[in-house]
Structure 1
Amino acid sequence: MDVSSFVLLSHEQALRRQLDIVANNMANSSTVGFKREQALFHEYVETAQEAPVEDARKTSFVLDFGTVHDTAQGSFQATGNPLDVMIDGAGYLNVENPDGGVAYTRAGYIKVSENGELVTSGGQRLLDENGRPIAIPADQLSRITIAEDGTVMAGDAPVGRLAVTDFGNESLVDPRGDGLLTGTGGQFLTAARTRLKTGGVEASNVEPIVETTHMVEILRSYQTSQRLSADLADMRKNAIGRLSRVG
């Protein structure tokens, strides 16, 4: 296999990675709080010690560098539940990680557990800035409100404030695959910087038509790469055939 075949192979692997990401975006087009992902590729240049001509010494390959999140805000999706919240701006709600520690989410479905604590739709306990769950007094379960700054009121008394963490650099956040994310280096948003909308959640920012168009472009690029591979194979076959007739 010559260098050109390796270059095409690296390109096809990159296209395969892109296709996987686009397919995942489309699968999560209705997932609350989901942020579409984009593939991030870098050029890797390899320099050979010897080559027939100087310009042929350098060969460019495609290097899969990872993914980045599209931080564009999703639309507000009303639910009719006054406890549901949407973060208006950057940040993630802090929840108790099932494996220990803290996890993060943009899915603002909130309910009260049997123990009187605020939890997500998946049952993870929501945490305050001290890393503690927010408990509601049994006699105030019907009088819960959440203010724009995240303060949780049970009747006329505050019982805690939803912790919202901003990472600034989205590359510090990694999806777990269950609607939760893990991350390091985040900072709590102060009450003055926290903006929540109640009565609804944030819809996914995936646009199915855009993703479908992107998928078609990837498939066409893959087909072009396959044709180039076939042309190179024919060229090598013809070259070998001609060399065999020399002399």
Structure 2
Amino acid sequence: MDISSYVLLSQEQALRRRMDIVANNLANTSTVGFRREQPMFREYVERADEAIVDDAKPTSFVLDFRAIHDMSPGAFQPTGNPLDVMIDGPGYLAVALPDGAGTAYTRAGFVNVLQTGELASAGGQPLLDETGQPIIVPPEQANRLSIAGDGSVMGPDGPLGRLAVTVFADESGLAPRGDGLYVGAQGRVLAAEETKLRSGGVEGSNVQPIVETTAMVEILRSYQSSVRMAESLNEMRKRALDRLGRIG
């Protein structure tokens, strides 16, 4: 296999990666709190020591670097539940992972009260306050809760705690777990005056199906062009070998 085939293979691998990400975005069009991903690629240039012409010495390949999240917010979706919240701005709700596995983060603001009295996400993970501890709700107050704009969980007798909203200087370091949660490090919990929550609903996915479908068509066309180019190169090699055979 010559260098041109490796270059085309590099491009086709990048196109497959793009297609996987677009397909995942489309699959999460209705996922609450989901933020679409975008692939990032880097150019890797390999320089040969010898070539017929100097311009042929450098060869450019595509390297899959990572995927980043589109930080634009999704639309507010009313649910009628006064405990459901949408983060109006940057940040993530902090939840405790089972078996002491650490802390994870989510934009999905479905909130409910567990039988243990802990305030939890839709997945049953306890929501954490600004000190990293679960928020405990007395049984007699479970049906009389509200959440203020600064994240304070209010009962009839006063505040029970404040939901932690964590921001990250570099959100590209957040890794999705596949269950609507992200894991990451070096987050900062917003102060009450920096936090802005909207109760009574959740944040919808920021995926735009038309945009993703258009991207899927473009990827398919690029792949078809790459295949046609590979076929043309193979045909050129066959003709060259045929002519060399005749000369021999």
| TM-score range normalised by the length of the shorter chain | over 0.9
- Which residue in 2 is equivalent to 1:135? 136
1:137-216 equivalence runs, <5 A: 137-216=138-217
Tell me if structure 2 keeps the 8 A contact 1:41–1:65: yes
- The separation in 2 between residues aligned to 1:233 and 1:168, in whole angstroms, is 49
The residue type equivalent to 2:132 in the other structure is G
- Which residue in 2 is equivalent to 1:38? 38
1:95-134 equivalence runs, <5 A: 95-98=95-98, 100-134=101-135
Q: Which runs of 5+ in 2 are unaligned?
A: none
Give 1:156 deviation, angstroms. 3.4
Tell me if structure 2 keeps the 8 A contact 1:137–1:154: no
Secondary structure in 1 matching 2:193: coil
The residue type equivalent to 1:37 in the other structure is E
Task: Out of 54-63 and 93-102, give the one that drifted further.
Answer: 93-102
Secondary structure in 1 matching 2:172: helix
Task: Out of 90-99 and 75-84, give the one that drifted further.
Answer: 90-99
Q: 1:26-66: per-residue Cα shift (whole Å, max 9, x none)?
A: 00000000000001001100001111111110000000001
- The separation in 2 between residues aligned to 1:109 and 1:33, in whole angstroms, is 10
- Which residue in 1 is equivalent to 2:2? 2
- The separation in 2 between residues aligned to 1:92 and 1:36, in whole angstroms, is 15
Give 1:168 deviation, angstroms. 2.4
Q: 1:77-113: per-residue Cα shift (whole Å, max 9, x none)?
A: 0000000000000000000112511000000000011
- TM-score under structure 2 length normalisation: 0.98
Confirm whether residue 238 of structure 1 aligns to residue 239 of structure 2.
Answer: yes
- The separation in 2 between residues aligned to 1:138 and 1:12, in whole angstroms, is 58
Q: 1:130-175: per-residue Cα shift (whole Å, max 9, x none)?
A: 1111011122122211000000111131110000100021112110
- Which residue in 2 is equivalent to 1:68? 68
Secondary structure in 2 matching 1:187: strand
- The separation in 1 between residues aligned to 2:75 and 2:51, in whole angstroms, is 55
Confirm whether residue 80 of structure 1 aligns to residue 80 of structure 2.
Answer: yes
- TM-score under structure 1 length normalisation: 0.98
Q: Which runs of 5+ in 1 are unaligned?
A: none
- The separation in 2 between residues aligned to 1:81 and 1:191, in whole angstroms, is 22
Moved over 2 A (4+): none
Task: Out of 94-103 and 202-211, give the one that drifted further.
Answer: 94-103
- The separation in 2 between residues aligned to 1:119 and 1:16, in whole angstroms, is 38
Length, aligned pairs only: 247
Secondary structure in 2 matching 1:192: helix
- Which residue in 1 is equivalent to 2:49? 49
